[in-house]
């Protein structure tokens, strides 16, 4: 896998919380030959720093490697059986190596614990890093105990265990899985329960997450290393056998890593690391063009025979099979990073590698990104003068991208018919296109069944979550006609009861419906078509029927309504008067009494050729963005004062907001185009 590009690293750091930045350091601590040969290694940059041997080394009880954010220092922590002055008198003390000072120091503390259950088992002796502390499972007075070493405070503390686990006499292991402190407890020989601490430090938050069923597996050699994005568990067994279990704990795949037999290792442990470009803080690291140890002959003599530390068994898996193991857990890490990035960056990074292209192009990832990403951005799509522009109105009305439309060049007759979940419907004479302006993908719809477009009608576009389908809805009172087009079925269908359809559009500028809460909405006149007979008409895309939503009693028809749609995530309309534009928002969906006059814009505050204002949406900072009706756009503060004006054309334009997404349509014949030019 390629080294991460610098601009990606910068974007990641700008978006990750401090705790994650501390965690994602990307170094490995390799200990060989009884601690007489130790290195810290960044597998991505190949930087290696050799660690001076500890002068009092006899054999570690346990060890760990972590990062102290307060001092920007990497620490190696060892609990050692010492023979400092007299080989016949041994005691347990703690030694800490500071990478910044390049020296070992003894920690003065009372350490009343004994070794793990099996001191030769490296995954029990290795500390698990979480929340700025290293954690071990140790034993005191015959009972299991979790201790944590705070890397900043340099002291030990206990972490509570579930009583059900602590009182058992079975194989126990401590890991960090899925970002949680986790215990693995053997049960009945072949079952392995994974318990997770959902809230760090809270005893009552321990819960059994999953039970692995591994018949025929020696529990001493079973070591879960991570959860996948789908809730599966990756387990390392003996010398390089990877086992994948589903979220029910059943084995679904076994894979033997190649070449581990060369070293004759009885057991191989995995260490999950993160690719990074970090350098060590003291500048002592040297760049090696290859792995620190690439052949058996380069390993120390005692290492070939095995050692107290089991260093070969611990690290041969990492040293020789980095690429193989990364195929299992790098995807999970990358996906977590990608979920934090905006669509624009993800589209650029599809060209980094085949793996990145595959991950970002996956429809499941696109859905997750749409639902979970904190950086989804609404933009304004503007069509005029045979040009299609995308405006980032949250930052500036001048922040413009020029897009490629499915119809090139866009004809003057091109119309916008709706927007939903990042897709925009455009219409040109006899053709409809459902288009994702972010990715450039589109689908041409089948022939249009409405007898005539010369009569007034309403239209809109929405998403049916229960059927994973997109619907285009058209209706006309004069024709007593209402139909919808299903993207998934690729066909038109008449809406039940449409022969009684008796509504017509009540908005001056647009007949486009707005999608919110599973329905498409229009502001319409009712059957009597009077200025007092106006309501919100909603089409439920799941139930496939129409219903009415009342307007507030104080909303009056004066000179008309210049806008109806979604403003700041609420249903909203603009009541147009002689000197003001009153913007009303429905603060609580479906509740008549929640209609609130939220903004009053004085038309005297700006010069408009038509003395007109049509709101479009609110920016992230609460400013109002709207159109002057003819030439361009305005950005106003909450008092209606003009902050910015931008002109893009000399005549009437078409515009709609859309969300930047990676989503694709639920159909097999979607065309791929270029999004920008």
Using alpha carbons only, what angle is made at residue 600 by residues 595 and 606, rounded to the nearest 5 degrees? 150
Q: Quick check: 480 pLDDT over 60?
A: yes
- Identify whether the C-beta of residue 310 lies closer than 8 Å to the C-beta of residue 122: yes
Q: Which one of 323-337, 414-428, 546-560, 651-665 scores highest in mean pLDDT?
A: 414-428
C-alpha count within 13 angstroms, C-beta hemisphere, residue 224? 36
- Nearest 5 degrees, angle CA 403-CA 432-CA 525? 105
3-state SS string over 337-373? HHCCCCHHHHHHHCCCCHHHHHHHHCHHHHHHHHHHC
| DSSP H/E element including 392 | none
String of b and e for 90-105 (b: at least 16 CB within 10 Å)? Answer: eeebbbbbbbeeeebe
- Among residues 663, 667, 622, 654, which one has the least CA distance to residue 640? 622
Instruction: Name the residue among 210, 223, 173, 179 with its Cα closest to residue 197.
Output: 179
- Walk me through the domains of the chain, giving residue ranges and CATH numbers: 327-372 (no CATH), 378-659 (2.120.10.30)
pLDDT of residue 274: 65
Q: In this model, does residue 263 exceed pLDDT 50?
A: no
**pLDDT greater than 70 at residue 285:** no
Q: Residue 162's Cα: distance from chain center in Å?
A: 31
Looking at residue 63, what is its pLDDT? Answer: 81
- Give yes or no for residue 489 having a pLDDT over 50: yes
pLDDT tier at 187, thresholds 50, 70, 90: confident
User: Could you tell me if 195 and 185 are in contact, meaning their C-beta atoms sit under 8 angstroms apart?
Assistant: yes
* pLDDT tops 50 at residue 109: yes
Omega prior to 152 cis, within 30 of 0? no
* Cβ pair 459, 473 in contact under 8 A: yes
- At residue 260, φ and ψ (nearest 5 deg) are -70, -25
pLDDT given at position 451:
58
pLDDT digits (tens, 9 = 90+) for 632-649: 788 998 888 888 888 887
DSSP, residue by residue, 165-202: HHT--S-EEEEEETTEEEEEEEETTTEEEEEEESSTT-
Q: What is the pLDDT of residue 12?
A: 61
Exposed/middle/buried for 402, CB within 10 Å: 0-12, 13-18, 19+?
A: exposed
**Cα 184 from Cα 242, distance rounded (Å):** 17
Check whether 259 has a pLDDT greater than 50: no
**What is the H or E stretch that residue 261 is in?**
none
Is residue 329 classed as helix, strand or coil in its secondary structure? helix
pLDDT band with cut points at 50, 70 and 90 for residue 538 = very high
* Assessment of whether the complete model's pTM goes beyond 0.85: no
**Residue 375 pLDDT class (50, 70, 90 cuts):** confident
Compare 152 and 218 and report the one with higher pLDDT.
152
Q: Specify the pLDDT at position 520.
A: 95
Dihedral sign computed on CA atoms, order 398, 401, 405, 409: positive
Given this model, what pLDDT does residue 19 score?
39
Q: Give yes or no for residue 490 having a pLDDT over 50.
A: yes
- Distances in whole angstroms, Cα of residue 127 to Cα of each of 59, 78, 109, 186, 509: 16, 10, 18, 20, 65
Of 390, 393, 371, the residue nearest 382 (C-alpha): 390
pLDDT at 133: 92
Q: Any idea what DSSP says for residue 446?
A: P
The alpha carbon dihedral of 655, 657, 659, 665 has a sign of negative
Q: How many CA atoms lie within 13 A of 222 on its CB side?
A: 28
Mean pLDDT of 215-236: 81
Q: What is the separation of C-alpha 274 from the centre of its chain, rounded to a whole number of angstroms? A: 17
User: What is the mean pLDDT of the segment spanning 471-487?
Assistant: 86
Helix (H, G, I), strand (E, B) or coil at 667: coil
Phi first, then psi, for residue 413 (nearest 5°) are -80, 0
Judge whether 564 and 523 are in contact, CB under 8 Å.
Answer: yes
Return d(Cα 10, Cα 12) in angstroms, integer. Answer: 5
Question: Considering only CA atoms, which of 438, 342, 444 is closest in space to residue 390?
Answer: 438
Q: What is the mean pLDDT of residues 105-130?
A: 65
Quick one: angle between helices 363-372 and 354-361, nearest 10?
60
Report whether pLDDT(615) > 50. Answer: yes
Sequential DSSP letters for 637-659: -TT--EEEEEE--SS--EEEEEE
Q: Is the pLDDT assigned to residue 30 strictly greater than 70? A: no
Confidence of residue 261 (pLDDT cuts 50, 70, 90): very low
Beta carbons within 8 Å of 327's beta carbon, 6+ residues apart: none
Average pLDDT along the chain = 75
Neighbouring CB atoms inside 10 A of 500's CB total 9
| Confidence band for 585, pLDDT divided at 50, 70 and 90 | very high
- Which strand ranges, in their side-by-side order, compose the sheet holding 37-42? 28-32, 37-42, 47-51, 286-287
**Residue 22 pLDDT level (bands cut at 50, 70, 90):** very low
Residue 320 reports pLDDT greater than 60: no
pLDDT level of residue 239 (50, 70, 90 thresholds): low
Task: Please give the residue that has the higher pLDDT: either 52 or 510.
Answer: 52
Residue 226: Cβ within 10 Å count: 20
Q: Which residues pair with 39 in a beta bridge?
A: 30, 50
- Could you tell me if 109 and 95 are in contact, meaning their C-beta atoms sit under 8 angstroms apart? no
Say yes or no to pLDDT of 414 above 90: no
Q: Which of 30-39, 470-479, 642-651 has the lowest mean pLDDT?
A: 30-39
Residues 597, 486: Cα–Cα separation, whole Å: 37
- Dihedral of CA atoms 135, 139, 144, 149 in degrees, nearest 10, equals -20
Instruction: Please report the pLDDT score of residue 21 as a whole number.
Output: 42
Mean pLDDT across the stretch 312-334? 40
Answer whether residue 625 shows pLDDT above 70. yes
With contact defined as beta carbons under 8 Å apart, do 576 and 553 qualify? no
pLDDT of residue 587: 93
Q: What is the DSSP letter of 220?
A: G
Separation between Cα atoms, residue 417 and residue 410, nearest integer Å:
15
Mean pLDDT of 79-94: 55
């Amino acid at each position: 896998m390629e080294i991460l590009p610098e601009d990606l690293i910068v974007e990641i750091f700008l978006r990750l919380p401090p705790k994650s930045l501390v965690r994602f350091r990307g170094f490995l601590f390799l200990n060989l030959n009884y601690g007489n040969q130790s290195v810290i290694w960044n597998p991505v940059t190949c930087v290696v720093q050799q660690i001076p041997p500890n002068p009092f080394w006899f054999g570690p009880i346990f060890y760990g490697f972590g990062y102290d954010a307060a001092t920007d220092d990497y620490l190696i922590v060892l609990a050692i059986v010492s023979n400092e002055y007299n080989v016949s008198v041994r005691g347990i003390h703690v030694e800490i190596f500071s990478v910044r000072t390049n020296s070992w120091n003894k920690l003065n503390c009372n350490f009343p614990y004994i070794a793990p259950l099996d001191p030769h088992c490296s995954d029990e002796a290795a500390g698990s890093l979480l929340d700025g502390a290293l954690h071990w499972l140790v034993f005191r007075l015959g009972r299991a105990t979790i201790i944590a070493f705070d890397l900043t405070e340099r002291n030990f503390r206990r972490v509570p265990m579930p009583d059900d686990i602590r009182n058992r006499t079975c194989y126990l292991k401590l890991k960090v899985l899925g970002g949680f402190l986790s215990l693995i407890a053997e049960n009945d020989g072949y079952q392995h329960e994974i318990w997770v601490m959902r809230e760090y430090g809270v005893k009552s938050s321990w819960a059994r997450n999953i039970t692995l069923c591994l018949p025929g597996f020696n529990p001493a050699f079973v070591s879960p290393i991570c959860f996948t994005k789908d809730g599966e568990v990756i387990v390392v067994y003996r010398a390089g056998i990877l086992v994948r279990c589903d979220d029910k704990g059943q084995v679904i795949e076994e894979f033997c890593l190649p070449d581990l037999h060369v070293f004759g290792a009885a057991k191989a442990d995995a260490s999950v690391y993160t690719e990074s470009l970090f350098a060590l803080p003291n500048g002592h690291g040297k760049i090696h063009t290859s792995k620190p140890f690439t052949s058996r002959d380069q390993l120390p003599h005692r290492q070939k025979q095995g050692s107290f530390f089991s260093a070969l068994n611990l690290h041969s898996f990492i040293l020789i099979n980095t690429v193989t193991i990364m195929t299992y857990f790098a995807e999970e890490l990358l996906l977590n990073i990608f979920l934090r990035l905006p669509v624009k960056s993800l589209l650029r990074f599809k060209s980094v590698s085949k793996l990145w292209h595959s991950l970002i192009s996956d429809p499941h990832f696109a859905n997750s990104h749409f639902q979970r990403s904190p950086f989804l951005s609404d933009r304004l799509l503007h069509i005029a003068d045979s040009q299609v522009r995308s405006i980032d109105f949250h930052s500036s009305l001048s922040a413009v991208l020029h897009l490629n439309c499915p119809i090139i060049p866009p004809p003057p007759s091109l119309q916008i018919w709706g927007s939903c979940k990042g897709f925009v419907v455009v219409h040109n004479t006899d053709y409809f296109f459902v288009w994702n302006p972010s990715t450039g993908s589109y689908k041409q719809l089948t022939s249009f069944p409405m007898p005539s477009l010369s009569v007034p009608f309403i239209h809109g576009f929405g998403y049916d979550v229960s059927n994973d389908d997109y619907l285009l809805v058209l209706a006309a009172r004069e024709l007593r006609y209402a139909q919808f087009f299903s993207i998934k079925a690729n066909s038109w269908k008449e809406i039940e009861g449409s022969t009684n359809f008796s509504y017509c559009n009540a908005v001056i500028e647009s007949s486009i419906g707005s999608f919110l809460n599973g329905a498409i909405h229009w502001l319409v006149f009712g059957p009597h078509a009077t200025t007092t007979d106006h309501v919100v008409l909603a089409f439920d895309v799941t139930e496939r029927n129409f219903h009415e939503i009342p307007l507030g009693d104080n909303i009056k028809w004066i000179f008309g309504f210049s806008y109806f749609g979604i403003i700041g995530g609420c249903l909203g309309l603009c009541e147009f008067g002689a000197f003001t534009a009153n913007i009303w928002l429905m603060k609580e969906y479906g509740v008549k009494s929640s209609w609130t006059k939220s903004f009053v814009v004085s038309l005297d505050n700006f010069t408009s050729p038509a003395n007109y204002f049509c709101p479009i949406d609110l920016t992230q900072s609460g400013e109002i963005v709207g159109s002057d009706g003819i030439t361009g756009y305005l950005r106003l503060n909450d008092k209606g004062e003009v902050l910015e004006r931008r002109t893009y054309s000399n005549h009437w334009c078409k515009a709609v907001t859309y969300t930047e997404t990676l989503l694709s349509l639920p159909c097999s014949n979607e065309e791929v185009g270029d999004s920008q030019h």
